[in-house]
A and B are shown apart, each in its own frame.
Chain A
Amino acid sequence: MPLLIRRIGFYLIAAYAAITLDFFIPRMLPGNALSAILTQMRGVVTPAQLASMAAEYGADDKQSLLSQYFTYVGHTLSGNFGLSLSHQETPVSTVLGGDLPWTIGLIGSATVVAFLLGTLIGIMAGWRRGGLLDAIVPVSTFFQAIPYFVLGLLLLIIFGSDLAWFPIGGGYDTTNRYVTYVQGWNWPYMSSVLQHLVLPGTTVVLASIAGWIVGMRNMMITTMDEDYVLVAAAKGLSRFRVIGIAARNAILPTISNFTLSISLVVTGAVLVEVVFDYPGIGNEMFNAITAADYPLLQGILLVVTFAVLIANFLADLAYVVLDPRSRREA
Chain B
Amino acid sequence: MTSTLPTETMTGGSPATPAAPARRRRRHYPIKVQVGAGITLFFILIAIFGPELAPHSAAWVANTTNGTPQPPSGSNWLGTDNTQHDLYSALLLGARSTLLISFVAGAFATVLSVAMGVTSGYVGGVTDEVMSIITNIFLALPGLLILMVILKPLPPGDQNNSLVIGFVVALSSWAYGARALRAQTLTLRDQDYVVSARVIGERKRRIVIYEILPNLLPIVAASFIFTVIYGMGVYVALCYLGVVSPASGSWGTLLQTAQASGAIEANQWWWYLPPALCIALVGIGLALLNFGIDEIINPRIRSSRSKRRDVKFQLGLTPVVRPATSTVVEGEQL
Binding site for B on A (CB under 8 A): 10, 13-14, 17-18, 21, 25-26, 29-31, 33-34, 36-37, 127-131, 134, 137-138, 141-142, 144-151, 153-154, 156-157, 161-162, 168, 217-218, 221-222, 224-227, 229-230, 232-234, 239, 242, 260, 262-263, 266-267, 270-271, 274, 285-286, 289-290, 292, 297-298, 300-301, 304-305, 308-309, 312
Contacts and interface: CB of A to CB of B under 8 A. Distances in A.
A148 B233 contact: yes
A12 to B, nearest CB: 11
Contacts of B272: 153, 157
A301 B149 contact: yes
Nearest to A281: B145
Contacts of B313: 230, 233-234
**A contacts with B: majority SS:** helix
A314 B267 CA distance: 43
A131 B284 contact: no
A33 B279 CA distance: 32
Interface string B277-311: 00110011011100100000010110111111111
B241 A29 contact: no
Interface in B113-152: 133, 136-137, 139-146, 148-150, 152
The 5 closest A-B pairs by CB, nearest first: A145-B287, A145-B283, A147-B233, A33-B153, A233-B311
A218 B236 contact: no
Nearest to A239: B310
Contact of B152 (A145, A230, A289): A289
B148 A156 contact: no
Contacts of A31: 155
A145 B286 contact: yes
Contacts of A266: 142
Interface in B224-238: 229, 232-233, 236-237
A161 B308 contact: no
A129 B240 contact: no
Contact of A312 (B140, B233, B267): B140
B311 A305 contact: no
Given A144-B287, A225-B319, A260 B179 contact: yes
Given A227-B318, A285-B145, A300-B145, A29 B150 contact: yes
A153 B255 contact: yes
A130 B243 contact: no
Contact of B273 (A137, A157, A298, A308): A157
B233 A289 contact: no
B312 A225 contact: yes
B269 interface: yes
A308 B142 contact: yes
B303 A21 contact: no
A28 to B, nearest CB: 8
Given A137-B303, A153-B272, 7 more contacts: A138-B32, A145-B287, A147-B279, A149-B240, A226-B320, A234-B313, A271-B237
Interface in B251-272: 255, 259, 264-265, 267, 269, 272
Given A30-B158, A130-B306, A141-B291, A222 B269 contact: no
Most buried by A among B136, B140, B229, B291: B140
A224 B319 CA distance: 10
A234 B280 CA distance: 46
Nearest to B286: A145
Contacts of B242: 289-290
